[in-house]
């Protein structure tokens, strides 16, 4: 089992579990229990495991990987007025999955050989290496406390263990597959996430003023692509992804030149 010495130095409070059903669910329980006593769960409290048995993705899909092949991590980002001066407006919280994705993309670049920039973002919550998914992000709001930022990263997964042909892992992409890889990747992610969140807060949740909007757009492979958006209601939207608005919504221009702001949906990149 990984010792996570680097990550312990990067996180104010790091809880390592031999296994967990869902790190998001575990951290949510910890936050609610402690906050209910009048105490405050520390900002950036983190739960991790290399064996998540009941992970969830977007739209409540299951996410399970062989033990030791991936890393599940959940981080509490406090958004209330206690930890954040003035708080963060609810309408800007859609940026947190994108900010977390940017942090993970930086971490992925940090452990891959060669020039940085192979890691990109697919709106709204996927991190990719050369177009192949290596990480998914899932954020959950805990009213009155903050947002739990969950991430599932394929670390040592082999080609035979990949859930779908469009996925990859750090090891497959060329990262040195030794026992320190999970710790190195996690420490880089936690360091980047805290830095980016502080910038987001300092700008009161304004992604444009903080410069984060430009950085996310530059990393986002969805922008400029022809896409099909499968909306939660069951309908579909076809068009060109042209940007990300101030709330973190994807802007899609349809054939009639109307721009739609998409808050949620499955995005299919069309060739």
Segments making up each domain of the chain, as ranges: 5-218, 222-269
pLDDT at site 83: 47
* CATH code for the part of the protein at 5-218: 3.30.930.10
Q: Is the pLDDT of residue 180 over 70?
A: yes
For 217, list phi and psi in degrees, rounded to 5: -60, -40
* CATH code for the part of the protein at 222-269: 2.30.30.100
pLDDT at site 62: 56
Q: What is the pLDDT of residues 28-48, one digit of tens each?
A: 999 999 988 988 899 999 999
Structure tokens at 271: 């060739």
Please check whether the two domains, 5-218 and 222-269, share a CATH topology.
Answer: no
- Grouping H, G, I as helix, E, B as strand and the rest as coil, residue 215 is helix
pTM of the model: 0.92
Q: Give the up-direction half-sphere exposure of residue 207: CA atoms within 13 A in the CB hemisphere.
A: 23
Compare 69 and 258 and report the one with higher pLDDT. 258
**124: exposed, middle or buried (C-beta count within 10 Å: 0-12, 13-18, 19+)?**
buried
Q: Is the pLDDT of residue 84 over 60?
A: no
């Amino acid at each position: 089992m990984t010792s996570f010495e680097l990550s312990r130095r990067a996180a104010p409070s790091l809880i390592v579990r031999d296994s967990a059903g869902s790190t998001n669910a575990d951290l949510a329980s910890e936050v609610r229990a402690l906050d209910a006593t009048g105490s405050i769960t520390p900002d950036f409290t983190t739960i991790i495991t290399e064996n998540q048995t009941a992970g969830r993705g977007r739209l409540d899909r299951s996410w399970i990987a062989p033990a030791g092949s991936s890393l599940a991590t959940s981080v509490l980002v406090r958004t209330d007025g206690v930890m954040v001066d003035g708080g963060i407006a609810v309408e800007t919280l859609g940026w947190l999955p994108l900010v977390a994705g940017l942090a993970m993309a930086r971490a992925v670049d940090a452990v891959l050989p060669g020039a940085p920039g192979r890691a990109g973002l697919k709106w709204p919550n996927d991190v990719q290496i050369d177009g192949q998914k290596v990480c998914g992000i899932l954020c959950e709001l805990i009213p009155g406390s903050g947002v739990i930022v969950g991430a599932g990263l394929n670390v040592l997964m082999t080609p035979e263990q990949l859930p779908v042909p469009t996925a990859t892992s750090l090891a497959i992409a060329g990262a040195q597959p030794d026992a320190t890889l999970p710790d190195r990747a996690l420490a880089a992610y936690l360091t980047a996430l805290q830095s980016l969140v502080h910038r987001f807060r300092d700008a009161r949740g304004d992604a444009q003023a903080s410069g984060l909007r430009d950085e996310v757009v530059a990393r986002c492979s969805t922008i400029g692509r022809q896409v099909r958006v499968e909306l939660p209601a069951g309908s579909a939207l076809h068009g060109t992804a042209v940007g990300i608005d101030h709330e973190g919504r994807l802007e899609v221009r349809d054939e009639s030149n109307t721009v739609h702001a998409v808050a949620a949906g499955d995005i299919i990149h069309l060739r």
